Amino acid sequence: MTGAGISAESGISTFRDNGGLWEKYDIQEVCTPEGWARNPQLVTDFYNERRMQLMDTQPNLAHRLVAQLEKRFNVTVITQNVDDLHERAGSSHVLHLHGELMKVTSSRQPNNPRYVRTLDTGHLQVKMGDLAADGSQLRPFIVWFGEAVPLIEEACAISSKADIYLIIGTSLNVYPAAGLTSFVPDTCPIYLIDPKPVKWNSSHRFTQIAKGASAGMQELMQMLEAETE
């Protein structure tokens, strides 16, 4: 399970740290259904800006090492991030809990797969008047605050079958994603990579690697190699 911390090393702003996005933008204005209803132009511009930033961003070592785990394990990445850096690094099974920045959808039926489409890299700027197939204004394919998380049940099912559970760069403050730790089997080791203390939200024991995402993944790879020799 990954959060904003894994993409921070690629230059994508986290949300809650000093200098994060929520210090620059009012969450209620750009990341809620109510904000969209009040000012869809502002929300559209915000996500256009995020896409352009993403185009100038590359996966970092942590993303690449997560992808390399597939050489030895059956890996599913459950991410709270809306960027596509895991996919670009080579991960083949990625579940985006909070949506995908490179996709747009109907503002009338946002979770209807018939209306979800991926933007072409040469045409990332959505404009007012750009319509989905049902005739409604295109909106970002993002799960905003206050909206249901359609993929949470699938994420719970995946977590409940884990043999090894790895958490990278998430504060475990955002629910329901933060509650996934309670579905991990008691016999499953959990590794938490984060340089800062994290308010642990489960009775499950865990091992913290108090480093950034890339350095932490390097240490974890060494630990896993030693344990499986």
Question: Per-residue pLDDT tens for 133-189?
Answer: 999 999 999 999 999 999 999 999 999 999 999 999 988 877 888 899 999 999 999
Domain that holds residue 106: 4-228
Question: Per-residue pLDDT tens for 212-221?
Answer: 999 999 999 9
Judging by beta carbons within 10 Å of its beta carbon (0-12, 13-18, 19+), is residue 3 exposed, middle or buried? Answer: buried
Question: Per-residue pLDDT tens for 86-122?
Answer: 999 999 999 999 999 999 999 999 999 999 999 998 8
How many domains is the chain partitioned into structurally?
A: 1
Backbone phi, psi, residue 165, to 5°: -120, 125
Catalytic residue from among 86, 98, 123, 204: 98
Catalytic annotation on 98?
A: yes
Q: Are 80 and 99 in contact (CB under 8 A)?
A: no
Question: Per-residue pLDDT tens for 57-67?
Answer: 999 999 999 99
Which CATH number fits the domain that encloses residue 33?
3.40.50.1220
Judging by beta carbons within 10 Å of its beta carbon (0-12, 13-18, 19+), is residue 33 exposed, middle or buried? Answer: middle
Least confident of 40-54, 64-78, 200-214: 200-214
Q: Kindly report whether the peptide bond that precedes residue 176 is cis, defined as omega within 30 degrees of 0.
A: yes
Token digits of residue 208: 């913290």
Q: How far apart, in whole angstroms, are the C-alpha atoms of residue 164 and residue 42?
A: 42
pLDDT of 28: 87
Closest CA to 152 of 185, 175, 186, 169: 175
Q: How far apart, in whole angstroms, are the C-alpha atoms of residue 149 and residue 139?
A: 16
Three-state SS letters, 86-114: HHHHCCCCEEECCEEEEEEEECCCCCCHH
